[in-house]
Chain A
């Protein structure tokens, strides 16, 4: 039978194409246009050339927000990935406890980000919050509104609480897909628990872990709502991450030009990292023969 060859299927892609055009491409083009101009409102623009880019590339404010962002993402990845794997390894494999633990693990993921922020904002307060009050009663000087270290600890703990279950659930899915035969072979070889983890479980989880790291990196790199609700970027600028700084610039100061240039540079970094992860992931899949 001869195969019919036509290009009509492209029409099926048209709705998505239109949707992406209006939700991403056209706004992105507008941001590029803004980034080279200045405005004082009223939709009137004046050509500024590369001024905003030059200014921002030499701006202490941008580089320190970028530094804080990298440190934040690195810390939460360093905690959440091993912790998530550890939790997944210790979750029940079958039966009613397995279902129960899956539901419990999924719970934090269902809570909206601003609610998570509010929960931790109250939880950490010294006057009425359980955590803040308890720590104060123990004689520990903890106040996230004036101590940068306390603010960082609160935000990192909050993120770990909120997102470790995502890594755990993904790792759990990876672990469940390992055939029993591998464990039996390891048993015959009298492999230690560590060897089973290192030579069987970890390599088999590589794909899902890569996805977990990518998702957590992207999310943490764009984090806005939770730190904004808890600390508002403070004390001082201690927890002002890139997106908080960007919103301050765009909406607080209404500096549309610099904010547009800022967001494009931010976008480029996100795109670069996503591309690296995507490439590594697809190469891993190819090696694994999917």
Chain B
């Protein structure tokens, strides 16, 4: 695995994403859902909302890095608020 140049932060990052996917899969099996219509006027499932959250969060972090600075904890906070909004209204 040496060639993959793992570091602790990136390992944690991927572990969190892996865990999210696992939780969503378990939820999908235990509590099947029907897609719902949100403010984007399109049907979304929980998986779709997770995807929108993760993709949007990546852009939020990049925008923060480009416009504000390197302290990404604030950006992470915004990402959480964004995630809540996506899961509630999209």
Contact = CB atoms under 8 A, between A and B. Distances in A.
A113 B55 CA distance: 32
Contacts, number: 54
A53 B62 contact: yes
A29 B59 contact: no
Interface size class of B (residues with CB under 8 A): 20 to 34
Interface in B42-84: 42-43, 51, 55, 58-59, 62, 65-66, 70, 72
B71 to A, nearest CB: 10
Interface string A18-52: 00000000100110111011010001010101100
Interface residues of A, number: 26
Contacts of A286: 43
The majority secondary structure among interface residues of chain A is: helix
B4 interface: yes
Nearest to A7: B29
Contacts of B2: 43
Contact of A29 (B9, B14, B51, B70): B14
A247 to B, nearest CB: 20
Interface stretch (A72-80, A222-230, A265-273): A265-273
A272 B2 CA distance: 31
B5 interface: yes
Contacts of B51: 275
Contacts of B66: 54, 57-58
22 contacts: A32-B13, A32-B14, A33-B10, A34-B5, A37-B7, A43-B3, A43-B5, A45-B5, A45-B7, A47-B7, A49-B70, A50-B65, A54-B65, A57-B62, A57-B65, A57-B66, A58-B66, A268-B55, A268-B58, A268-B62, A272-B59, A283-B42
Enumerate the 7 nearest inter-chain pairs by beta-carbon distance, A residue then B residue, closest first: A57-B66, A33-B5, A45-B5, A30-B4, A33-B10, A53-B65, A50-B70
Interface of B: 2-7, 9-10, 13-14, 42-43, 51, 55, 58-59, 62, 65-66, 70, 72
